[in-house]
Structure 1
Amino acid sequence: MNYKKLDIFSPVVFVLLLVIYLVFSQIAFHYHLKELVGININTIYIIFLGLLFYLVGIYFSHYLLKNRDFSLDKNKIEKIFSEKIVLSLVILGILLQVLNLLYLGGIPLFSGYLKAHAATRIWLLSYLIFLPSINILMAKYNNKKYYLLFMVGLILFVFTGYRTTVMAIVISMLITLYYTMDLKWKYIVLSVAAIFVLLLIVGYVAVKSIEWQTWTLSPLQLLFYRAGYTLQVLDRAVLLQGSTNGQLLYNTLMGFFKSTDPRVIVGSTTLGYAHSTTSMIFGPALLDFGLYAMLIQMFVLGAVMNFIYMVQRSLGNIFVALYAILLAHVFIWIETGPTDLVVLLFFLITLILIGYSVTIRKGGV
């Protein structure tokens, strides 16, 4: 195999990462971490059925577009994403996060009480601005001095105590640099190892800082436990299909206007008490509308991700950064599920920009 031609960040890698996640959960079950006991075999069947529909979606979009040529209207892109505009947005995103921390009066990473209130509208706006702008800045105008802005922004988001946003920032940046700088394998391996260590540290510190909980697990055990726990929640969601009647989707789409966290609904439904919890990428659709909805979700996700992948591989430019952001969040969805409005907005923005600036024509034989 020619490893130089192997694209490790194609949409198919999602399947491999989900299988690794399942292996982590089995380790937790094997050692009965915090009394985890395992799941029903039917849940495993449903997971692999979902993965199958994801792969079918990838194949479907590839089949439709395999003889198509993509062309980019660079003038339209340059008007919107000049270096000054993108750099200004990066700085604005950083300043908003500083403002959010000042508003909170402390560092949520070290306080469970502060973390419970850290996801303000300022935080959301900061994330919505910073994540795409820093990736676009590095994809289009890669300059060593911009790495400092990346590090400053990353540290500020680490301070909020939320693993998912930190992971989205570092994973998306790795994917962006992978496509724009032709990273060598040793740097990719080192970056993945660094991301893994960062995941362990942020997750462990955040959990240990929750004043009303007591944890005795090591950082590595905690990682395995979260995988096993989330899979057990999915196991319960499989038995409760359709029980939320669209509440999760509604509260996700109304995220700017309603204070109800969809993950609290997941917890209330599967655990019987109000607790913010996750049910993997399959859980929300199963709870809202049942198996067929989950299969449609996975098919559409595979088709859309492969479409954006083909656009960015053909045209590069800002679409590298946008694809990196979306793929990073799809990775995170393996555990959390698609219950974040901001990620759906990233998908919407990406598809609008493709429609605005990309022309798709039938190519030659």
Structure 2
Amino acid sequence: MFGNRDIFSPYIILVAIIAYLLMAYVAFHYKIRGLNFPSPISMIYISIGSLVYTLGVLTSSNFKSPLYSRVKMEFSHRHETLLLIIAILSIILAAWNLYNVGGIPLFSGYLKAKAFTKIWFISYLLFLFSINLLLARFKRNSYYGLFIIGLILSALTGYRTTTVVLLLSVLINFYYTRNISLGRITIIGILIISLTIIIGYIAVKSIEWQHWSLNPIELFFYRAGYTLTVFDRLIQFEGATHGKLLYSTLTGFFTSTDPRIIVGTTVLGYKHSSTSTIFGPATLDFGFFAMIIQMFIIGLILGLLHTIQKVKKDFFTALYAIILAHTLVWIETGPTDLVVWIFYLIGVAVIIREACHESGHRS
């Protein structure tokens, strides 16, 4: 880490939101595919949501003392073997899923739609957790190879979100467990952005029923502007879905329902999978106040997990890295991923466990 600065504290979310707005500004300024600047009300919503998120993080600092127990979760060789088996199994499942699809989803929109299966969901969930914990606790060079294999399989599915989260989570993980230099962080950051642009461009150009004339850089900025435009339009439908979006997020794994299609259908008036920023889904489901409650809770949980992982490392660092990485991606996609909520629930359970553990010691 660099001096007293903690680059990947929960406040990185605010920096990322500002960066995302600047990306959208480029799209609006150059009117890429006719995009126009959003209304002031959307900026007000984003500003208030960001402010309340900050309050959540600040509130977490009030709990630092009770959570500063030095007792760590110990991992033995048996745990390492189990995690290694889980990581290898998840890679096998991901490869099997690609085999069942019958091709490489990155190069076909139809195959990409088929690749989002229960097998893929389970393999991603298991791999993300196991590889981060292996890299955080058991620093063996062979695990880098496992990570690269999993990363390649993720990229081949055509879902840039999972690929970016894998890279981001490991970067955050290394920041706290390896004390990597600013230069390396910058290089990896450029790599992540480059992969995002490349995978996103290839995936979009491979959608058989769509025709895009934008170059990769234009598409990169257009996505930010488009998503912000969706959020801007979404505000006039505040509370329109009455929880349907949340229900779809929680049950989509079992019903094969895409929550983002609900966003597109409601806001745009036709069936289309649309992202709506981290502020969008809660606003569409339950209104403005639900959104600010969500932002406060996210800030509070990230703040508490950040406090715990700085002291206890290992499992806690891996969990924090995973949740923070997904939350950074949520800035564009919105909280419509069951896998992320699962990790958030694990995070809440960890916080409660640590609070109860420390309370028991005090009594």
TM-score range normalised by the length of the shorter chain: over 0.9
Alignment counterpart, residue 186 of structure 1, candidates 173, 178, 183: 183
Find the aligned partners of 2:310 and 2:72 in 1 and give their Cα distance.
16
In the other structure, the counterpart of 2:167 is: 170
Find the aligned partners of 2:38 and 2:67 in 1 and give their Cα distance.
44
The answer on 1:8 being equivalent to 2:7 is: yes
5+ long unaligned stretches in structure 2: none
Matched AA of 1:304 = I
Find the aligned partners of 1:313 and 1:112 in 2 and give their Cα distance.
42
Find the aligned partners of 1:177 and 1:252 in 2 and give their Cα distance.
30
Deviations 1:46-93 (A, max 9, x none): 100000000000111112334642243535x559x7110111111011
User: Aligned with 2:139: secondary structure?
Assistant: coil
Find the aligned partners of 2:193 and 2:239 in 1 and give their Cα distance.
35
Deviations 1:137-159 (A, max 9, x none): 00000111111110000000100
In the other structure, the counterpart of 1:142 is: 139
Question: How many residue pairs align between the two structures?
Answer: 361
Relative to structure 1, the CA distance from residue 300 to residue 356 in structure 2 (aligned partners, 3 Å threshold; closer, same or farther) is closer
In the other structure, the counterpart of 1:56 is: 55
What TM-score, normalized to structure 2? 0.96
Deviations 1:305-360 (A, max 9, x none): 10011000011111111100000000000001001111101111233345456733
In the other structure, the counterpart of 2:358 is: 360
In the other structure, the counterpart of 1:29 is: 28
Find the aligned partners of 2:354 and 2:298 in 1 and give their Cα distance.
22
In the other structure, the counterpart of 2:39 is: 40
User: Aligned with 1:82: secondary structure?
Assistant: helix
5+ long unaligned stretches in structure 1: none
Find the aligned partners of 1:317 and 1:309 in 2 and give their Cα distance.
12
Alignment counterpart, residue 152 of structure 1, candidates 149, 152, 159: 149
Alignment counterpart, residue 100 of structure 1, candidates 75, 97, 100: 97
Find the aligned partners of 1:361 and 1:71 in 2 and give their Cα distance.
13
Instruction: Report how far residue 258 of structure 1 moved.
Output: 1.6
The answer on 1:333 being equivalent to 2:325 is: no
Tell me if structure 2 keeps the 8 A contact 1:240–1:270: yes
In the other structure, the counterpart of 2:68 is: 69
Tell me if structure 1 keeps the 8 A contact 2:68–2:308: no
Instruction: Report how far residue 95 of structure 1 moved.
Output: 0.3
Find the aligned partners of 1:74 and 1:210 in 2 and give their Cα distance.
46
Relative to structure 1, the CA distance from residue 264 to residue 99 in structure 2 (aligned partners, 3 Å threshold; closer, same or farther) is same
Find the aligned partners of 1:90 and 1:101 in 2 and give their Cα distance.
17
Tell me if structure 1 keeps the 8 A contact 2:67–2:308: no
Tell me if structure 1 keeps the 8 A contact 2:171–2:188: yes
In the other structure, the counterpart of 2:304 is: 307
User: Aligned with 1:4: secondary structure?
Assistant: coil
Tell me if structure 2 keeps the 8 A contact 1:70–1:361: no
In the other structure, the counterpart of 1:343 is: 340
User: Aligned with 2:252: secondary structure?
Assistant: coil
Instruction: Report how far residue 134 of structure 1 moved.
Output: 0.4
Alignment counterpart, residue 84 of structure 2, candidates 82, 87, 93: 87
User: Aligned with 2:299: secondary structure?
Assistant: helix
Relative to structure 1, the CA distance from residue 67 to residue 96 in structure 2 (aligned partners, 3 Å threshold; closer, same or farther) is closer
Find the aligned partners of 1:351 and 1:88 in 2 and give their Cα distance.
26
Alignment counterpart, residue 247 of structure 2, candidates 239, 250, 254: 250
Alignment counterpart, residue 274 of structure 1, candidates 271, 275, 279: 271
CA RMSD of superposed structures (Å):
1.8
Find the aligned partners of 1:249 and 1:282 in 2 and give their Cα distance.
13
What TM-score, normalized to structure 1? 0.95
Tell me if structure 2 keeps the 8 A contact 1:74–1:357: no
Find the aligned partners of 2:312 and 2:142 in 1 and give their Cα distance.
26
Alignment counterpart, residue 223 of structure 1, candidates 193, 217, 220: 220
Find the aligned partners of 1:182 and 1:361 in 2 and give their Cα distance.
32
Instruction: Report how far residue 288 of structure 1 moved.
Output: 0.4
Tell me if structure 1 keeps the 8 A contact 2:52–2:296: yes
Relative to structure 1, the CA distance from residue 225 to residue 363 in structure 2 (aligned partners, 3 Å threshold; closer, same or farther) is farther
**Which has more helix, going by share of residues?**
2
Instruction: Report how far residue 254 of structure 1 moved.
Output: 1.1
